[in-house]
Homo-oligomer: A and B are copies of this chain.
Amino acid sequence: MAQRTGRRPGNRDTSGEILAAARTIFSERGYDSASIRQIAAMAGVDAALVHHYFGTKEQLFRDVVDIPVEPAALIADIFGAGVEAVPERIVQSFLGICEGPATGPALFGLLRGAVSHQWQGLLLREYFTTQIIRRVLSRLDTVVDPAEIPLRASLVSSQLIGLTLARYIFHYEPLASVRSELVVKLVAPNIQRYILGELDLTEEDARQLVTVLTGLEDAGK
């Protein structure tokens, strides 16, 4: 047994305490600014123990969010039919998550929680932004202006979240009952515009975007 050094040994619910600390740190600081060191300090354990239980920061984050989705596999699938098909594949993959017997309920649970609890909303945002949409967009950086990626990512998210609510949670008809192939055909062109379309930003728009994003970075986000 480890000696008492002010740090807790592994025989209490250490992994639960690490997860609780990670939840707080990730939702308060966002994925990018969070560190294993901060999480370990909050849980009162050594950083090595966090790695031992949960692996990398990314793996820990996925355990906190707890949607059984493997981002790497998802992104491979989204790019599996070339850049042209990316918008269609995004909608397809997203509907696949919503309609999966394990992933659907997990996502809907998180989404419901996100609406009532600020921290769950922040986790959901961080998950989609950092793990999925930003990665997809950064693979398109030869065709998309990198300065526009965060804006495009948030627009894509707005449509996908709204689609999830309208089709699966509020059951807006006929969108809720038509087959998913039709939903893909209907929604993909709008996702395409958000990802690849000309946004016609004026110089003033571009300046405002920089101000907003710089402000966020300065605030430690």
Contacts and interface: CB of A to CB of B under 8 A. Distances in A.
Interface of A: 111-112, 114-116, 121-122, 124-125, 129, 150-151, 154-155, 157-163, 165-167, 169-179, 182, 185-187, 189-190, 193-194, 197, 199-201, 205, 208-209, 212-213, 215-216, 221
Contacts of A169: 114-115, 121
A23 B104 CA distance: 29
Contacts of A187: 155, 158
| Overall SS of chain A's interface | helix
Given A124-B170, A165-B165, A166-B158, A175 B151 contact: yes
A150 to B, nearest CB: 6
Contact of A175 (B111, B116, B121, B158): B158
B208 A173 contact: no
A208 B190 contact: no
Nearest to A216: B173
Contacts of A209: 174, 178
Given A200-B185, A208-B182, A213 B173 contact: yes
B190 A173 contact: no
Contact of A159 (B151, B162, B179): B162
B157 A160 contact: no
Contacts of A212: 173-174, 177-178
15 contacts: A111-B115, A112-B115, A115-B165, A121-B170, A121-B171, A151-B175, A154-B174, A158-B165, A162-B163, A173-B221, A174-B216, A178-B205, A178-B209, A185-B200, A186-B199
A40 to B, nearest CB: 28
Contact of A114 (B170, B216, B221): B170
A174 B162 contact: no
